[in-house]
Amino acid sequence: MAQQLEPIARMVSQLARLPGIGQKSAQRLAYHIISMPLEDVRELASAVYQGRKAIRYCQVCGNYATEDKCSICANERRHNGQICVVRDPRDVAAIERMRDFQGTYHVLHGTLSPMDGIGPEDIRIKELMSRLSDGSINEIIIATNPDIEGEATASYIARLIKPMGLLVTRIAHGVPVGSDLEYADEITLAKAIEGRREM
C-alpha cells in the first residue's frame, strides 16, 4: 500500500483547514493544483500570501485597508454624519454591495459574548466612542447580526451612546424580500409584524 506523497498530503491538510472545505474537496483541489502549470500555482499562492500581507486595519474604522485609512474613511464625501456599526469587515463589504449607504463604518471585530468571555473591552467600542467626541456624528446605525450576541451588543452600545444625545438606530428585522412567508421562522415573523409600517 503506497502512502500519499508527502507534498500532496501537506497540501491536502492545509486546504482542509479552510472553512467549507472537507477532506474530499481538499483532495480534489490538491490534485487539480498539482496538474496546473507551475506559474499559475505561483500566482495563486502569491495572491493568497501577498494579499494577506498587504491587508491591515483602517486606523479609523477597523475595516480592511491597504493604507492607514480605508478607502471609505479616506473619502471626504462619505463623512455625512452617519456611522454604521458592524461586526466584521465582510459586513462592510455586504452593505457596500448595496451601493446605498453613504456614511462611514465602524467595525467592532466581534460581538459581546459573556459565555465566551468576550466583554466590551475585547471589541472596538472604546474606539467608536472616541469617534463621537468631535460632534461631527449625528446618527449611529447598529447593523450587528440579528442573533443573541448581535442584539446584546446593539443594546449595550445604544445604552452608552443615547445619553450623548445622538440618534441611535437599529437595522430592521423582517421577512427577506423575495422569500416565502411560509418558510420564515417564528422570531423573524414576530419581528416583521412588530416592525410593520402604514402603507
Residues that bind a copy of itself (CB under 8 A): 1-8, 10-11, 13-15, 17-21, 25, 27-36, 38, 41-55, 64-66, 70-72, 75, 88-90, 93, 96, 99
CB of 190 to a copy of itself, least distance (A): 29
CB of 42 to a copy of itself, least distance (A): 6
CB of 129 to a copy of itself, least distance (A): 24
C-alpha span between 106 and 100 (Å, rounded): 17
C-alpha span between 165 and 152 (Å, rounded): 21
Cell of 105: 463604518
Pairing of β 64-65 and β 56-57: antiparallel
Nearer to a copy of itself, 3 or 133 (CB): 3
Nearer to a copy of itself, 52 or 126 (CB): 52
Nearer to a copy of itself, 54 or 167 (CB): 54
**List of E strands, 30-138:** 56-57, 64-65, 82-86, 104-107
Nearer to a copy of itself, 70 or 161 (CB): 70
Pairing of β 167-170 and β 82-86: unpaired
C-alpha span between 83 and 75 (Å, rounded): 14
CB of 167 to a copy of itself, least distance (A): 24
Q: Are 157 and 101 in contact (CB under 8 A)?
A: no
Nearer to a copy of itself, 88 or 139 (CB): 88
